[in-house]
Amino acid sequence: MKGSSEDSIESIRPSNLQAFANISTLHGMSHIFAYGHMTFRRFLWTLSFLGSLGLLMLVCMDRVSYYLEYPHVTKLDEVAATNLTFPAVTFCNLNEFRFSKITRNDLYHVGELLALLNNNYQIANPHLAEPEVLAALKDKANFQNFKPKLFNMTDFYNRTGHDIGDMLLQCTFRGEDCYPVNFTTVSIHSYLNML
Is the domain of 172 the same as that of 114? yes
How large is the average pLDDT for residues 79-107? 80
Are 42 and 34 within 8 A, CB to CB? Answer: yes
Is the domain of 30 the same as that of 107? no
How large is the average pLDDT for residues 160-173? 86
Looking at residue 9, its pLDDT comes to: 54
Per-residue confidence band for 7, with pLDDT thresholds at 50, 70 and 90: low
Does the pLDDT at position 115 exceed 60? yes
Provide the 3-class DSSP secondary structure of residue 101: helix
Whichever domain contains 169, its CATH number is 1.10.3590.10
Is the domain of 175 the same as that of 129? yes
> Does residue 24 form part of some domain?
yes
Per DSSP, the chain holds a count of helices (H) and strands (E) of 8, 4
How large is the average pLDDT for residues 139-152? 87
Does the pLDDT at position 190 exceed 50? no
> Does residue 78 form part of some domain?
no
Q: Nearest Cα to 163, choosing from 85, 112, 82, 93?
A: 93
The residue out of 16, 49, 68 marking a domain boundary is 68
Element (H, E) at 87: none
Looking at residue 121, its pLDDT comes to: 81
The residue out of 13, 45, 68 marking a domain boundary is 68
Are 108 and 121 within 8 A, CB to CB? Answer: yes
Is the domain of 107 the same as that of 185? yes
Is the domain of 57 the same as that of 126? no
Phi, psi of 160 (to 5 degrees): -100, -10
pTM of the predicted structure, to 2 decimals? 0.45
How far apart, in whole angstroms, are the C-alpha atoms of residue 39 and residue 27?
A: 18
Looking at residue 189, its pLDDT comes to: 47
Go through the chain and tell me how many residues it has.
195
Number of folded domains that form the chain? 2
pLDDT tens track for 34-57: 777 778 888 898 899 899 999 999
How far apart, in whole angstroms, are the C-alpha atoms of residue 17 and residue 26?
A: 13
DSSP at 191: T
> Does residue 73 form part of some domain?
no
Per-residue confidence band for 11, with pLDDT thresholds at 50, 70 and 90: low
Looking at residue 68, its pLDDT comes to: 92
pLDDT tens track for 67-90: 999 888 888 888 877 777 877 777
Is the domain of 63 the same as that of 104? no
Domain hosting 155: range is: 99-194
